[in-house]
Structure formats: C-alpha cells, structure tokens
C-alpha cells in the first residue's frame, strides 16, 4: 500500500502527538480560515458584505480589499473550469479522451488554487480570530417539524429512494484507472441541498468483483484538493470498484458563503439529523447502483463493503442500524468503522473538536440540554443490533480518541457483539487511528477478506 519511506512517515505521524496538534489546528485555524474564505467568495470584493457574512460581531478590522477580490477571481476561474468540465463530462456531445483528461486536470488545478486561498486569511485571523462556524442553532420546535414523524418510526423514516435515476458522467482514463462521476436528486425532505454526487474509480484492465464505498469525515473534501489516497489504489488492486460519495454540504454541494460541512455543526441537532437522514438514504441508493451496474454489464452483482471514518463511521453506524427492512440490493454485505461512536450526542456534547468549537455552549444558548438531545437519541444513536451479521463488521478505535470518544466506540462494539478478531484498539487518537490504517492496514485487509468470502469470491 505504501513504500518504505511513506510507511515510515505515516507511522511517525500516526501517534497521539499528532492529534494534540491536529485537533486545535482544525478548530482554531482551518475551520476559521475556511469561514473567512467562504465569506469572501460571496462578498464580491465588498468589505461590508464580507463582515456581515462572517457574522462575528462589531469591531472587525477589514481584511485587504485586494484579498477579497483575489478570492472572487479564483472562485470565478474555478467556476469557469467547472462549467467546461460539466459540459464535457455530462453534456450532450461526446468529447475525445484527451479532451476529457485536459478538462479534469484544469478543474483540479483551479480547484486547488481556489481552496488554497484559505491560507491568505491568516494575518486577519491572527489579528482577531475568525469564527470556526457561523452558528444558527435551530431550537427543538423547529427540528421537531422536520423529524418528529421519523422519531415514531425510525426504520420507515430511513427508506432510500431506489427509483431515483442516477446520471453517469463520461469516463476519464488516467493511467490504469478510469474515473466517473455519479449524480442524482437528493432524497425527499432533504434541506437546501444540491444534487447528490459520488466519484467512481475502476481499473481499466479488468471488471470489478466487488465495490467499496468510502464515507468521509466532516470537512473532508479530498477530491477538491486533487488527492487520490493510497488506500484507494490498494483496494482497486484487490479487484474492487471504489465509490467516494460527497456528503451533504460538502465539495460541489457546499452552500454559498459556507465551507464544506459547516452546516452540520452550525445548525446543531437539526444539522446532525438532516445530514444523517439524507446521507444514509443516498448511500443506500449508491449501493443499489453498484449492483445494478454489475447486472447491466452481464455480471452477477458483487458484494459491497462500507468503510466509514469519523463522521463517515457514524453514517455507516446509522445505516447498519436502520436498513434492516431495505431491499437487499441497497444493503451492504460488510463494513469497516474507523473511529466510530455509538452516539452522535456523545460527539456533540463530549467530543473535543465540538467542545473547542463551542458547540455545547451554543446548543445550551438555543435551549438544548443533554436531556432534550436524548429525546432524539433513537435517530442519533446506534440501534440494539445491526442489519448484517456482527462477524461481517470490523472496527478500529484509538484509546486516546477524544473527538468520537473512545468509550462510546467501545460501547458500540459491545452492543453489537462484534467478535474479538474483528476489532482493533490502538494507542492512537482520532486522526492518527485513521491515518494509521495506511501504515498498519490489518483492519482493512480483514474487511476485504470478509467481503469477498461472504460472496464466495
């Protein structure tokens, strides 16, 4: 999976010291810079609009107008490259292979340049900290309007919409890998969302014998940065198709003036409920798509593995909790949970990242308490048992994980009776346990073996 130098580097940073640096770096640096960057995009170079969108109170000294204009220009260049990419990959006219590759490279080049402008807001942040999120916590009455029916029937409330058409882009072949993108209408009830999207990777030399879906954490937008993780290459080499869904409010689904994933925490319990309700159903549609595509190609449908990290592990946990009555084609065969928790409430009230961002304080100010959050526990916590056999579930936990608290992850393993040979506890934190999978990939190897064995492959 990694060469010796890469393995040594990953092993070095996959230790608890990395989490002690990474957690405050995200809550006090990356997210605040992202908030300023996103506010600048919709400010149109206007200082007053920038300050108003940032919503961090009076007294803000203006960032340079030149920086605001530069951010808008970078956004415009990216939007132009994206429009050409959209036309080439989803438009009515077929393009030559080299043209599609050129469009994809141009999109990634402008995306990286645009995303990287976050760093330019550092001087303003050092002068006076930008907010980590623009909070607009919904009170329980507002949340209840959208979700009270599901509270009475969680299983029925999570049903995916398998008849929703899925649009496939043209294929972009880069070396030995073929890239495609999927797009479909979000599920009914989804709040202010752009179409659901996913990137699909397959090898050019052989058809896939199985599919893996990688579910990402909050704020993770690797495609926008042009990243192609080594873990995906290894799984591709095992004969898997790789599907990388973009969660609600991430990547090209981000809301104007907000950075990727910001509404999840900024809206409080309502944001968490909206995200999980929507994304669980979207993932179910993608699982069914993978099997339908195999059948359309004249093959028996291959098994499907879900791999979720952090928020992705929580999404996977909820899908495994509530998909027992789904059609078989929409249910996974196996799962790997990296840095999971048994309860989203544990993450919101007791996680170190949410604590450093001020989420518990904002929830309390909006009238929420641990008791009122507990009222929604049926939609936020793991069910008593999963929809697939426990021996098809693997998990990797860090003893020093304070973001998705370690004890909550252990409770999930106990509650679901995941067998001892399928879970690993490492002396790592939240980020280091995820990074460590690439250097010490035993959990992934086990999950892959279980997936193929379940289908007799």
Q: pLDDT for 401-414, tens place per residue?
A: 999 999 999 999 99
The pLDDT value given to residue 348:
78
Q: Which residues of 44-55 are buried (b: 16+ CB within 10 A; e: fewer)?
A: ebbeebbbebbe
- Residues near 221 by beta carbon (within 8 Å), at least 6 away in sequence: 115, 246, 250, 251, 260
pLDDT at 6 over 70: no
The pLDDT value given to residue 198:
98
Give the chain's radius of gyration (CA, Å): 21
The pLDDT value given to residue 1:
63
CB-CB contact of 301 with 357 (8 Å): no
pLDDT at 127 over 80: yes
Angle between helices 97-116 and 65-90 (to 10 degrees): 160
pLDDT at 2 over 60: no
Q: Which residues of 322-357 are buried (b: 16+ CB within 10 A; e: fewer)?
A: bbeebeebbbbbbbbbbbbbbbbbbbbbbbbbbbbb
The pLDDT value given to residue 4:
60
- pLDDT band per the 50, 70, 90 thresholds, residue 13: low
Report the chain's mean pLDDT, rounded to a whole number.
91
Which residues share a beta bridge with 240?
Answer: 210
The pLDDT value given to residue 435:
85
Residues 306 and 393: their CA atoms lie apart, in Å, by: 9
Counting DSSP H helices and E strands in the chain, the numbers are 21, 10
Q: Which residue is it, tokens 């873990």?
A: 231
pLDDT at 5 over 60: no
The pLDDT value given to residue 457:
62
> pTM of the entire structure?
0.95
3-state secondary structure of 167: strand
The tens digit of pLDDT for each residue in 317-367 reads 999 999 999 999 999 999 999 999 998 778 877 889 999 999 999 999 999
CB-CB contact of 386 with 422 (8 Å): no
Domain ranges of the chain: 24-127, 140-454
The tens digit of pLDDT for each residue in 137-175 reads 999 999 999 999 888 888 887 889 999 999 999 999 998
In the predicted model, what is the mean pLDDT of residues 72-89? 97
The pLDDT value given to residue 162:
94
pLDDT at 278 over 90: yes
The pLDDT value given to residue 152:
85
Q: Which residue is it, tokens 């006219």?
A: 93
pLDDT at 270 over 90: yes
The pLDDT value given to residue 392:
98
Four-way CATH pick for 140-454: 3.10.20.30, 3.40.50.1820, 3.40.50.300, 3.40.50.450: 3.40.50.1820
- pLDDT band per the 50, 70, 90 thresholds, residue 93: confident
The pLDDT value given to residue 57:
65
Residues 3 and 24: their CA atoms lie apart, in Å, by: 30
In the predicted model, what is the mean pLDDT of residues 236-260? 96
In the predicted model, what is the mean pLDDT of residues 41-50? 92
Residues 251 and 261: their CA atoms lie apart, in Å, by: 9
pLDDT at 7 over 80: no
């Amino acid at each position: 999976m990694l060469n010796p130098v890469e393995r040594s580097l990953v092993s070095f940073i996959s230790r608890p010291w990395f989490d002690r640096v990474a957690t405050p770096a995200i809550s006090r640096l990356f997210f605040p810079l992202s908030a300023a960057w996103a506010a600048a995009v919709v400010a149109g170079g206007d200082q007053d609009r920038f300050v108003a969108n940032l919503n961090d109170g009076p007294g803000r000294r203006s960032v340079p107008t030149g920086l605001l204009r530069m951010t808008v220009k970078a956004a415009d260049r990216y939007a132009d490259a994206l429009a050409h990419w959209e036309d080439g990959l989803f438009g009515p006219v077929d393009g030559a292979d080299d043209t599609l590759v050129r469009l994809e490279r141009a999109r990634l080049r402008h995306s990286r340049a645009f995303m990287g402008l976050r760093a330019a807001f550092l001087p303003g942040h050092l002068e006076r900290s930008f907010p980590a999120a623009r909070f607009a916590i919904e009170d329980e009455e507002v949340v209840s309007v959208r979700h009270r029916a599901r509270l009475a029937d969680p299983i029925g409330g999570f049903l995916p919409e398998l008849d929703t058409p899925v649009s496939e882009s043209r294929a972009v072949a880069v070396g030995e890998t073929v890239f495609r993108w999927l797009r479909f209408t979000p599920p009914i009830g989804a709040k202010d969302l752009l179409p659901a999207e996913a990137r699909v990777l397959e090898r050019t030399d052989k058809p896939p014998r199985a599919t893996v879906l990688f579910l990402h954490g909050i704020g993770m937008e690797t495609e926008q940065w042009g990243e192609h993780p080594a873990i995906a290459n290894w799984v591709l080499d095992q004969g898997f198709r790789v599907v990388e869904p973009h969660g609600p409010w991430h990547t090209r689904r981000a809301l104007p003036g907000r950075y990727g994933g910001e509404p999840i925490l900024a809206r409080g319990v309502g944001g968490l409920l909206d995200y999980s309700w929507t994304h669980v159903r979207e993932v179910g549609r993608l699982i069914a798509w993978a099997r339908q595509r195999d059948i359309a190609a004249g093959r028996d449908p291959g098994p499907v593995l879900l791999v979720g990290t952090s928020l992705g592990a929580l999404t996977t946990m909820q899908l495994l909790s509530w998909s027992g009555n789904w059609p078989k084609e929409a249910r996974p065969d196996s799962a790997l949970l990296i840095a999971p928790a048994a309860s989203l409430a544990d993450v919101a009230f007791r996680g170190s990242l949410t604590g450093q961002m001020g989420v518990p304080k904002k929830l309390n100010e909006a009238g929420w308490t641990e008791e009122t959050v507990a009222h929604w526990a049926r939609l936020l916590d793991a069910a008593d048992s999963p929809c697939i056999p426990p021996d098809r579930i693997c998990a990797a936990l860090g003893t020093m994980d304070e973001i998705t608290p370690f004890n909550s992850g252990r409770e999930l393993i106990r509650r679901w009776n995941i067998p001892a040979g399928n879970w690993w506890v490492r002396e790592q934190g939240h980020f280091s346990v995820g990074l460590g999978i690439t250097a010490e990939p035993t959990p992934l190897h086990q999950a892959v073996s279980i997936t193929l064995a379940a289908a007799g492959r």
